[in-house]
Amino acid sequence: MRANSKPAAPLTAAVALLTAAALLLAPAPARPAEAAAHHVGYDRYSLTVDGQRVLLWSGEFHYFRLPSPALWRDVLEKIKAAGFNGVSLYFDWAYHSRAPGKYDFTGVRDVDRLLRLTEELGLYVVARPGPYINAETTGGGFPAWLKTVPGRARSSDPNYTRAYREWLARIDPIIARHQVTRGGSVIVYNAENEYAANTDPAYMEDVQRQARAHGIDVPISHNQCCDASWTPTWATGQGAVQIPGVDDYPQAFECRDPDTWGTWGEGVTERLSTGAPAYAAEYQAGAIDLNRAGYEKCRELTGPNYMKIYYKSNLITSGATMFGYYMAFGGTNWGRLAQPNDVYTSYDYGAPITENRRLTAKYDEFKRQGLFVTGVAPLAKTDPVSAPASDNPAVHTEARANPDTGTQFVLVRHADRTTDDDQSANLAWNTPDGAYTLPVRLQGRDAKILVAGYTMGGQRLAASTSELLTHTTANGRDTAVLYGTAGVEGTTILRYGSRPDVKVISGSVKSAYSNGNLKLDYTHQGLARVQITGGGREPLLLLLGTDAEAAKFWRSGETLIRGTDLVRSATTRHDTTAIRADLAKPGDIEVFNATRRLTLNGEYLHARRTGSGTLLARAKGPRPVELPALNHWRGRPGAPETTLEFDDASWKVADHTTTAGPIKPKKPPVLYADDYGFHYGHVWYRGHFTATGDERTVDLNAITGKGGIYQVWLNGRYLGSAAGGEQKDADAPVNENPGPGTFDIPAGLLPKGEKAVLSVLVENMGHNDDWTADDYRQKQPRGLVNADVTTNPITWRIQGTRTYDPLRGPLNTGGLYGEREGWHLPSAPTKAWVTASPTDPIGPGVHWYSTNARLALPKDQDVPVTLHIEPGTGRYRSLIFINGWNLGEYVNGGVQHDFTLPDGILHPHGRNTVTLAVISEDASKPGPVSLKAAANVRGGVPAP
């Protein structure tokens, strides 16, 4: 460990204290852009960079759930525009490693590129490489080959140790060269993940020892599950980290009931270490769709009201200054990325940014809070203080203040967090600038953080019952935006040396001046504008709006912009302000503190100067787009393995008698797919035997993970299908008979003494996680686990994925015949296929369809395209391949009908191959398939 990551020594602390007051007058520093080394430190209040306090407000992003590096920029710019100053990034071991010793960090796995991007955008990074990450990803981030390594994972077992050290030796150096201490973005390193059950401190210690040896010198953190009752917290003792954090999901995951409230408690982040900041390492910002209600319901469950009450309460009650909101953008479980117990293809998560990269009402609320918490410096160092007394017990107040500046932050919420009452109160407020009695009102589920005693640029905000969004200083003028609930009264008091000139430019605002106090009274309605000059201060443009008006503002540096659907950046050079923005429709764009000329996405905009001294222009919306219909399909059947004559001589013989897994087969041989190196997607088995003539049934048992199926043919005759076994996280000990299937053998099918072949197709839906570190779940086998067919010996052969696809990685391709032959790829020999339609009635087995779609989407627009699949009849599922990439699995009767096709995989200006592998369990008629535009905006990031 390097000295510079230790808590500040007393001397440094004293120096820091002297500079603190001065620094606190400026907004919290954006991440330093220049590639110079910086010092990262921390104390009980916050992280510091070169002694300046940083309130870390980060959102979680999984690059592995967006297989398009060009779009990483889109999402990260959106995260930044919401006011986040950081991102929390898991690194997924399974995504990078297909076999022991084999690692890939290129293409969609180029995490160096990802970290360079965070640097460029000025976002801090909490790097979370596990080795275990959970994250509802297959194996919880463990590569499936780890299932064949003996010894308990997440312990100091020597075999596991060899394996995880291999991963850390690859990933840590990449992270290390992007640390803030080397001019990069990584400010914290998170060791392990919610490591609270079956713990082994020596292992926890070694993960950190490895990190240090690999050059990690920023503080190391850990994310404790749920609350401090989960032990150890890794705050003290062997394996302790420097900044122990806590994960919290107060709304739980019951998206079916989005009105439930606080199922898992108060959601207040506990401080686990007296010497480190309170850290909400994962704080709920969405939910897994556990009961398949659809992610829109998860977004409701964790919507703006929840965010207001829980996030603001957490800030003030806990005094936390480090936050990781899980998720900012969820993304897609493409390929075989899903951990099947909890999730399906979409990992939208009900997050503020949708899977199709759209911004939601939650995004607006994040922006309202994010601009405030990352822009108001005194919030990074606060202690609890007595709160203004409320004359209504139903209105609860709580406060913190910065000990150096005196700035107060007052939480106002209902005493009963669950109520949606309309309550008013008078607050008797002793502020640093005087005592005021001010009315407040809470309408419905709501909470506010009110500010007093704040030096706001060149102004002095004595107190306000409106919330502060942000404030900027440019061209000798301050601009501040305050907001409140529409229709609710607000008061703002500003201090002046003498009576200032007050001009209400728009809206209805009453002003009164006495004893240095300029008191403004108004009702939040639209956007009011007040111009204040004189009084011994710089001019101020005060904007007083509703919540909705506040959400229309964007901030880039000191430039404030109103309008458009997203402002990615604004830079001013000479007399021109260049704006990069997205627009879903034509609209006004207003630039505060702009110079003379405006450009929007590189085009000159005709702008006029307004009475508020701003520049106002009209911006164009997108041109309409049309997507081609999917026609001219060609198809062919895809399960030749079912026939007697199929040649499987090249397949592996499944004859192992032992397995490293803790679950042993009842009788040999071991048929577990992973034991033969087939880790993802479908596997085929062919069992060869000579019939006794007495066989009556085929009794099988297969483990597929939740939602998987297996299908059985005997001598080419279809016997049927069964649901594969699953093990829920709660199942312990392991279910002995998880996926039974008994199939009758038709009379005459197995004449005595004749050779017979049993063909079984087993789907692997992904691997269980290891949340409780017991090793059983993640090592649970996939494939056949038992087969009773005949008393004669059976020779088993097994085949899964045949060749490795270095571009698309280990999780993309399974072992269907067509996948082994490359039928999912654009190079598939579909000319030799027959004219067909994916809506043709089909029988059991595998059916392939392919077509081409030429897209010509406008280059200056962002049109996220989805594949829409209408429900059909029958039991079937379809693997969706776009240009060879497995972008999901449609299950008829399941919850998901729209599949995100990210640009980069999809060519928005060219030819695309759309291929479906339809796997039917019986006679079925699949529904129609079409391309849809999930949105259409002018702007976006340049297409790859």
Which of the residues are catalytic? 194, 282
Q: Minimum CB separation from ligand GAL for residue 111, in Å?
A: 18
**What three-state secondary structure class fits 139?**
helix
- Tell me the two tokens of residue 848: 């392939």
Q: Minimum CB separation from ligand GAL for residue 444, in Å?
A: 28
Q: Minimum CB separation from ligand GAL for residue 727, in Å?
A: 17
Identity of the residue, 247 or 903, whose beta carbon is nearer to ligand GAL in the bound complex: 247
Measured at the CA of 231, the angle between CA 249 and CA 268, to 5 degrees, comes to: 35
Q: Minimum CB separation from ligand GAL for residue 193, in Å?
A: 5
Strand ranges in 775-844 using DSSP code E only, listed in sequence order: 783-788, 795-799, 834-835
Identity of the residue, 225 or 316, whose beta carbon is nearer to ligand GAL in the bound complex: 225
- In order of 741, 784, 821, the CA distances from 750 in angstroms are 19, 22, 31
Check: CB of residue 863 under 8 Å from CB of residue 869: no
Q: Minimum CB separation from ligand GAL for residue 136, in Å?
A: 5
Q: Looking at the DSSP assignment, which residues form a beta bridge with residue 248?
A: 283
Burial 831-843 (b: 16+ CB within 10 A, else e): eebeebbbbeebe
Strands, sheet with 395-401, edge to edge from the N-terminal-most edge strand: 383-385, 395-401, 408-414, 447-456, 459-464, 489-495, 517-523, 509-514
Query: What's the burial of 12, exposed, middle or buried (CB within 10 Å: 0-12/13-18/19+)?
Result: middle
Q: Minimum CB separation from ligand GAL for residue 851, in Å?
A: 36
Number of C-alpha atoms within 13 angstroms, CB side, residue 136?
25
CB atoms within 10 A of CB 942: 10
Select from 793, 697, 792 the least CA-distant residue to 747.
697
Q: Looking at the DSSP assignment, which residues form a beta bridge with residue 396?
A: 413
Strand ranges in 143-238 using DSSP code E only, listed in sequence order: 186-190, 220-224
Identity of the residue, 59 or 500, whose beta carbon is nearer to ligand GAL in the bound complex: 59
Q: Minimum CB separation from ligand GAL for residue 338, in Å?
A: 12
| Distance separating alpha carbons of residues 408 and 63, to the nearest angstrom | 38
Question: Phi, psi (5° rounding) for residue 798?
Answer: -135, 145
| Distance separating alpha carbons of residues 705 and 782, to the nearest angstrom | 7
Q: Minimum CB separation from ligand GAL for residue 726, in Å?
A: 18
Identity of the residue, 137 or 614, whose beta carbon is nearer to ligand GAL in the bound complex: 137
CB atoms within 10 A of CB 792: 13
Check: CB of residue 566 under 8 Å from CB of residue 601: no
- Tell me the two tokens of residue 608: 């006029």
Check: CB of residue 687 under 8 Å from CB of residue 697: no
Indicate the helix (H) or strand (E) that contains 397. strand 395-401
Q: Minimum CB separation from ligand GAL for residue 86, in Å?
A: 17
CB atoms within 10 A of CB 699: 13
Identity of the residue, 330 or 940, whose beta carbon is nearer to ligand GAL in the bound complex: 330
Identity of the residue, 247 or 921, whose beta carbon is nearer to ligand GAL in the bound complex: 247
Question: Phi, psi (5° rounding) for residue 501?
Answer: -90, 130
- Tell me the two tokens of residue 467: 């919330």
| Distance separating alpha carbons of residues 63 and 137, to the nearest angstrom | 12
The DSSP code for 353 is: B
**What three-state secondary structure class fits 452?**
strand
Identity of the residue, 350 or 809, whose beta carbon is nearer to ligand GAL in the bound complex: 350
672 Cα distance to chain centroid: 32
Select from 20, 22, 101 the least CA-distant residue to 53.
20
Residues found near ligand GAL in the complex (CB under 6 A): 133-136, 193-194, 225, 247, 282, 288
Q: Minimum CB separation from ligand GAL for residue 368, in Å?
A: 24
Identity of the residue, 286 or 739, whose beta carbon is nearer to ligand GAL in the bound complex: 286
Q: Minimum CB separation from ligand GAL for residue 288, in Å?
A: 5
Tell me the residue nearest to ligand GAL as measured from the CB.
Answer: 134
Q: Measured between alpha carbons, how far apart are the two ends of the chain, in Å? A: 40
Identity of the residue, 193 or 564, whose beta carbon is nearer to ligand GAL in the bound complex: 193
- Tell me the two tokens of residue 183: 């001019």
| Distance separating alpha carbons of residues 181 and 146, to the nearest angstrom | 33
Identity of the residue, 206 or 282, whose beta carbon is nearer to ligand GAL in the bound complex: 282
896 Cα distance to chain centroid: 18
Q: Minimum CB separation from ligand GAL for residue 82, in Å?
A: 20
- Tell me the two tokens of residue 454: 């704040």
Q: Classify residue 544 as left (phi > 0), alpha (psi -120 to 50) or beta.
A: beta
Q: Minimum CB separation from ligand GAL for residue 194, in Å?
A: 5
The DSSP code for 346 is: B
Question: Phi, psi (5° rounding) for residue 409?
Answer: -125, 115
Identity of the residue, 226 or 578, whose beta carbon is nearer to ligand GAL in the bound complex: 226
Identity of the residue, 247 or 364, whose beta carbon is nearer to ligand GAL in the bound complex: 247
Helix then strand count (H, E) for the chain reads: 12, 56
Burial 217-238 (b: 16+ CB within 10 A, else e): bbbbbbbbbbbeeeebbbbeee
Identity of the residue, 133 or 218, whose beta carbon is nearer to ligand GAL in the bound complex: 133
